[in-house]
Amino acid sequence: MTTPLALALPWLLPFAALRRLARKSPNLSDLPPAAGPLVSVIIPARDEARTIETVVRSVLSTSYQRMELLVVDDRSTDATRQLVEQLARRDVRLRLIHGEELPPGWFGKQWACAQGYRAARGEVLLFTDADTRHEPELLGRAIAALDATGADLLTVAPRQATVTLWERLVMPQVLVLLGLRFHPARVNQARRPRDVIAVGQFMMMPRASYEAVGTHAAVRGEVAEDLAMAQLVWSMGKRLHFAFAEQLIETRMYRDLGHLIEGWSKNVYLGGRRSFPDEPLLRALVPAALSGAMLFWLVPPAILALALVLPWPDLAPPALAATIASAAFWGVVSMGMQIPPWYALLFPLGASMTLYIVLRSAIRGARKVEWKGRTYDASVTGRE
């Protein structure tokens, strides 16, 4: 006969994933910095006044000698342009590109990247985000990896900085799922397009490779343009290399709850569907799978709460055991992300908010994608 505590055993299974999540190989830090060709670093920037100085100064502090930095101001309504202009007066390596009006069928980021490419002089292009901070040796080690692997697209996993309560509760929920699905070691040995991904915060490509796949124009209508670019590179028989770089680049994706909800609502549903490009059944199951992952963590505390009110004496012990196991798992994950482990005690709150984001994203679907003051209809701009 099954003992009541045996009902809690499924909540021990996630611990088996910790070993995979902890494996940080391949790692950009394992390669010595290399010299090489001119690298054009391109930053698409729309209303990035809070972060633009940090990323620009960090890129300009590089120890890599041959580098130019282009910031493409994508019609910002804040002080982004003025801040970059001030910095450009102090360093000739920095140029400000005044973004043109967004044409039909394009998402803003892709359009800004394409304009940066047109103005770039480098043999190697690095597309990076305004919410990143680069260490001086990042470029040199990235060039070393590009040379060593012969990659047509080099992408890295940065350290994810989290500061506010909601960042520390929601980001682990999402990043664990992404880390299990797209571990770099697996991506580098991918045999199907569903197994590849790129990280938009760092995408380095030789100019010839970028032009061969059609530039950002080829993914102009994609919500998850980094994922689409990775699949495009792979489908054309070109080489993709994904490495960890947590000691060399940091990003803070979202700075408050509203920004976090808007950002993940944009990406979760459409990005999840895009990750199964040729498998309609799996694409259709994405909302259910993501919702199920969040409900997995919510069931034990929900039953425990009910067991304290209703006469369910047999369910209280397994629910308590499963809740403790869940908190312990998220405590380990939190420490790995440099988040104080006590935040793990609030994992039901994080799972609830993530479930809300998943449902919000699925309900909106391709009909309403909002980002940086623009609203897109992805069913018109491109493929879901």
| Tens digit of each residue's pLDDT (9 = 90 or more) over 195-220 | 999 999 999 999 999 999 999 999 99
Percent of the chain residues past pLDDT 70, beyond the cut:
95
User: If pLDDT is split at 50, 70 and 90, which confidence band does 379 have?
Assistant: low
Q: What is the mean pLDDT of residues 355-380?
A: 75
Burial per residue of 299-314, b for 16 or more beta-carbon CB atoms within 10 angstroms, e otherwise:
bbbebbeebeeeeeee
User: If pLDDT is split at 50, 70 and 90, which confidence band does 186 have?
Assistant: very high
User: If pLDDT is split at 50, 70 and 90, which confidence band does 364 have?
Assistant: confident
| Residue 26 tokens, joined | 């391949």
Highest mean pLDDT, choosing among 13-22, 149-158, 254-263, 308-317: 149-158
Lowest mean pLDDT among 53-62, 83-92, 106-115, 277-286: 277-286
User: If pLDDT is split at 50, 70 and 90, which confidence band does 367 have?
Assistant: low
Q: What is the mean pLDDT of residues 69-92?
A: 96
Amino acid identity of residue 301, one-letter, is P
Tell me what pLDDT residue 382 has.
46
Q: What is the mean pLDDT of residues 257-273?
A: 91
Tell me what pLDDT residue 1 has.
38
- What tens digit of pLDDT does each residue of 320-331 get? 999 999 999 999
Tell me what pLDDT residue 381 has.
47
**Model pTM?**
0.93
User: If pLDDT is split at 50, 70 and 90, which confidence band does 309 have?
Assistant: confident
